[in-house]
Structure 1
Amino acid sequence: MDARQAARYRRALTTHYATIGRSYGERIGRVLGVVIALALWFFVATRLDFCISLGAILFQPLLLVPLARIAGGVVGAASGEIVESIAARIIRRKIVTHLRRLHLAQDNNAFGLLMEALLSPLCAPLRDEITNALRHTTQPNSIQAICRTWLKHHKRGERELAQSLARLIHEERWAAQRPLELRVYTALLSEQLELLDLTKPDTVAVLLEACRDADATIAHNARRALSQLRHPAAVDALCEAFLQSEDACARELILQHDYLPQDAIRRALVLFLSGQEARYEALDPEHTLLAMGYLTASESLQRRLLERARQLGRVDLMRVVVGSNTRKRISELRDREWQAVLEALSAQARWHDMWRLATEAPPYWSKQLLQHLAQVGWDAASLEPEERALYEQLHALLPRLIVAIEPNQRRASLVPHRVIAPSNLHLNDFALTADGKYAVLAANERELQVWHLPDGSLEHTLTLPRLFRALATHPSLPLLAVGMTTELHFYRLPELELDATVPIAAASQIKFFAEGTILACRTHRRRVELYTIQGSEWTLWHRLRRPQEVRDFTLTPNQRALLVASGSGAGVFDIATEEYRRTFGARAAEATALAYLPRLRFTDWLAIGYDDGLIVILSLPPVPESFAVAARERVRLISGNDPIRALHWIEPEQRLLSVSEFTVHLWLPPNRYPQQQLSFETPIVDAHYAFATNLLAVGTRNHLSLWTDPLSHLIRQPITRYKEGDLEWLEQQLQESTNISATRAWLEFIHALVRHHWRYDIAIEPVVINVGEFDIEIEVTD
């Protein structure tokens, strides 16, 4: 078959006959509609009286067009279905039959056309016939192509096509040669486990992934293969997967087949974490292997070791996992270590040491320690009179303290909190989780980094399979959406474990709406695609094919319209009709960003940023009435001459965050002037505010800077690190009467601790408190 004949066959297979039939049918239907209208007119004019005939003559032009359209639509739809049915039954089936004969004759072009037809939705009714034709494939490259197509669609979750190819591969017992992942999956599908090289660690990694596959046959065969490991390197790889990611399948195999690594330290860790306490104690009676393993372990593995020791109730193990001589300054402790301190001191009933720590710890943890003392009914009578008075004062404030602080600090300037600046960082984008505890950085085009913000530590990293385009975090779940050049991946946070894959090409902007049930993506084709979650799968809901140069977008709360910022301004696209309904504001400048704030004093607020630095805030009636009523301009904010790159509402506080190339502004509309301006020397990528932790994160090309309000900063800072300026700020805030009850309680709580520390901190050498996990050194104030 030559190239010209192949092109003719391809055109016949991929032609949308329903469109052609509908087009001709509409023309015929319109002619029929005109004929019917004329016949009706003739009937009325000849059979009825003069008045009715005159009325028919006058209204005839008004009836012609509607009748022609109605008839055209009915006939067009019917003819489209008829033509498509005939084409599918006759033309495409005839071509597939002919291609099958050519494929039997080893024609490569015929194989390529059969594969194209198999993937085409138009040829879906012929999928079984095409699959039967492919059974005669004998060339290795063609078998490789079939296997590769199956795995691609299997990973995407396209069940019908994947199941058709899976039956073909299983029945013909095909297996690909390369790459390794494809070879492993096809060997599992065709039940040819003898083709797997079970001596390689890479094979073990793919098999562990296959154990979680949705296909029961693949998952079962993967477990069968992993139960046959004999090579030490393969066993080590399985045990390492269990240590690094707590793989449930790996743990089950370790217990069933007594898999243990060669290295004594890793063997001790596996025994300890897999619940084999007796064997662990026999191997490591002095717990030295456990201590050495903890020192070289990753952050996540250290947490698992510590959590396991807590579950066992072994204070001695809690101590050895970090080394018996480890000393940490009170300012270096992380939240998980403070929790361990609380549990260890409580288990040993060391209430006086707990009180001493409460007077020096960060106020956040002072509150936790004092609450525990109150719960156990500790008697503070043994304290000195002034210390006992302090305890009673702090105890009285405890009911007014809340963990999720909502201080009325909207007039206070943010202060620097921490800078995350890893070496060789080139930041592409970033996002914060809803709880404000983690930041996900997309760096160096193909790398994801998860940072724990409370202590500034790197938790997990991942190398993406393709170039990065955009990312977004789910508003309520620990879920991350990452857009790449050919698809969109969903990862579970903070482990960065792959959860799902959606074939969305080049999504340059991603946003969640409707509490995370709708996902919107702007692609490189300047169109916006909307996806909804159904069960555990994301399915395409709507595609707006012709938005004009969309720069930014947001969805209305009722999910009926998409508000867009474009070169022609800001406007509304009706999702149902794909019609551009109206434009907000008549400005010559280009709209570059927008943010929507719903249900504010019976109106909605829409903030629009332009390329000349102006921000316009409009007041809209609640949707859907906003389409019929003109928007009213509330205020104009002037941030400078640089284009507005992004806008974000801080909803609980009704503040607005605007991002330009080198500056970030915080606004409190309708005030026209910014509350605070933050300037940076390098271009800003984006900025996000986490209300749960009162934390502002600003990402530039080479670092991520964190800012917080003064009270939140002081609550997390040890009392030993307070300076004179901090005390002055506390006293100034206490003199103001505008602070709400919870905020004032925190101010009084911190002020009492600071005054006590400065009055009684006369130690010459650091005080050390020994706890079950490590020694805490209370620094002496300079």
Structure 2
Amino acid sequence: MNLFAQYTEPSTVHSFGIDELRGLIFDPIKFGTGYIPTVAMNVLYQHNMPDSTVVLVEAFLESPNGSIRRRAKEMLQRSHSQACIDKVCQIWADTQNNDLSELLRKQRWIASEPMSLRILTALKARRFEELYRGNWHIVDPLYELCHDENPTIARRARRVLARLQNQRAIEYLCWIWQYQKYDQFLGEIITEAGYMPQSPPDVRTLVIFHLNQTDMLFGEGAEIVPHLLKVCRETHADFAEKARTVLLNLEKEAAKDALFDAFIEENDKIAYEIISKIDYLPRVPQKQAIFFFMTEQWERYETLDFTHSILRSVYEKAKLALRNHIRKKLRKSGRKDYISIISGTSNQYIHNMTDDDINFFVQTLIEYQAWDKLWLLVFEVSLIHSIKIVRTLAEQDWQPKHGDERVVFVSLRELVTNDMVTDIKEVRKYIKPAIKCATAKVKNRINDVAFSPTQPIIAIGTGIKKVALWNFQKGEMENVLSMSKGSIGRVTFMPNNMLLATERIRLSRGDVHIYGWHDGEQFTLGQLRSSVTSINAIDDNTVLTTGRDQTLVTWDVNSRTEICRQELDFWARGVAFPLMDTDSDTPHEIALFHRGINLFGLSDLSEIASTSRNNSDMKIILCGTFTPDGQEFVAGNFNGYLDIWQLNRQKRFIRRHSWGFNAKKHSEVDIGQTRAVRLFPKRNLLLSAYSKGLVMIQHWANGDVWKSIPIEGKVLTSLTISQNGDFMAIGNSNASMSLWDLRAMDVPPIFEQPLAKTVPSYLPVVISLANNTSVYTPMRRSLKFIEHILRYRFRYDIEIDTIPTIRVGEFDIEIE
């Protein structure tokens, strides 16, 4: 194979191919050495391309005819194309041909790329000035060429490395020296050239040591201290000693403080050694206190921080490593009064203590036999620690001094002698997130239910022109309100407890009135042309309705007038409001759902966004809820599926995959239509209900099912949840209603958080679960333990008597 074939590609020069021109030059039998080979070389020269240059180089090096070789050389010397020069340089680098070497030397040619070839040719041509100003990319190739087989090239490469003018190139060379563990060859170059990098700081420090200019670092700031400490731990004895010299001679206060911090926060032994030698003490009291404590200078610490408040504030803000060091020194001190450093002097500090802090605190109190202080923690720490403390106190045959505390302790002691559940996974396994408390049978059809926002009362809209106000805490009727005609279609409470109700008609069209009751008086708010599909309070004076007459209307309750009306091209099945952070917040947008989703502004009822109107695949949406960020909408469909729709920048709702939240994925039987969807942001839970008797509660973060709850009855017709999310009412087609306590959702967090964070509202549901015989016995013991704790914690709290509860039992609601 021809040696030069690798440098050419198939191409043509005028009407000739490269191979044909090569033949004209190298076939002396046909063409001799005269005119035709000369013409062929002229054609190649005029072509002035890399592939034609290869043939000229071939003729220059391998033609048996001296005349042809001379002509080829002349043509190469006249070449000014950088691409052609690059090709000649490449062939020379590969062949190391002496004739080409001499040609490059005389012409002083330099290749443009690649970088390694450019550097090699610059060295060959002695064009060093091209390299002195080069960036950091030239350093690696030059370093390799310093060890080249050609001593001339190696010598010239070293010369360039010792004369670099670009700061980045200098810094990179110094970095290689440091990275290769102080390469002797590069070290000699650094010394000869006197290179001084400005960055990175650790390399600069090492170069200064290498150049024996240690005193340059005495005036440096805090940023140099970590690098110096690192060097002190290295195996290079000379550099380590120089680093110690600098640390002992630091001039700036900030640098000394950084050295001090390294000892305190990282327990750095070298830093402590240096601090001790220079006898340095920071001016800040917090640092002085922690220094005295960590160095076991107890008397000096006591004099400075006799209340332990300084070190306690340091501990609260400290990172884990420093906290661990403080805890070790605390235990070593043997001082009981030092416990307040991590526990504080009041219960509020328990809230901020980590699990490691509490473990240490409890264990230390046990070692000190501080039983009285340990007993007080029972009501503050998490359940698992509280149980451990009670068991420890029981083993010591200890009892509280006061009678009421002794009663609580005896009850707790009896519980902890048996198995109890403390693992959160087990808790979620045995606790149902919804507790069925009561069943109420109504002789007439239940069309709608609403919870009062201020009282334990539900309004029940019936098919006989009456609204029943049922007190679910007492289990008795409060009042019965009547309308002049028609059955009750929808009921709702305003925030001020005013009740509104709408008529229900069987015909598709007909006048439908909206009635209200306030302070015992009935009034008519207005009327629509067909049945009302939803009625919702916006604030104390504004209500919003949707109807089968394809209207969206806001009403002023005080003046009994319409505020704004929007005629739609669909009738909405219902309305969803954004999730508000507080009850006092007022929404600005609403979503209507039908065979699609439309977003409207509340101020003027103008449309803001919607799903595509050409989407033939849309299912009828019966219920829905916004996600906490307001950018997504969870829709419950007629076919029992859930979809999550995302609002994009073009103000379109785009459906995204949501199979993980579908009850059909987790159920082997037909679940029917989706009747309700509700998100509980603070609990991070999603509740969905289905017409064939299923309520599913899932974790919103990942769709994992917590519980699937079967609902008794023929068909689940409605599901209503109180505004605060504590209670749920479920209506069935068999004229019955069940009442559920949803505060059981809050029970698992009680097992994880400190008992000091519990609130009185936890108590009713804990009591209910603790007394429920269907709950796993060890789980009931844990709940009973929590009940005793809460009862004692809130024994003087008047809120307990006012916390709403559902009276347990079965009731017959008779409406006359």
Instruction: Please report the TM-score for the alignment, with normalisation by the length of structure 1.
Output: 0.42
Larger Rg: 2
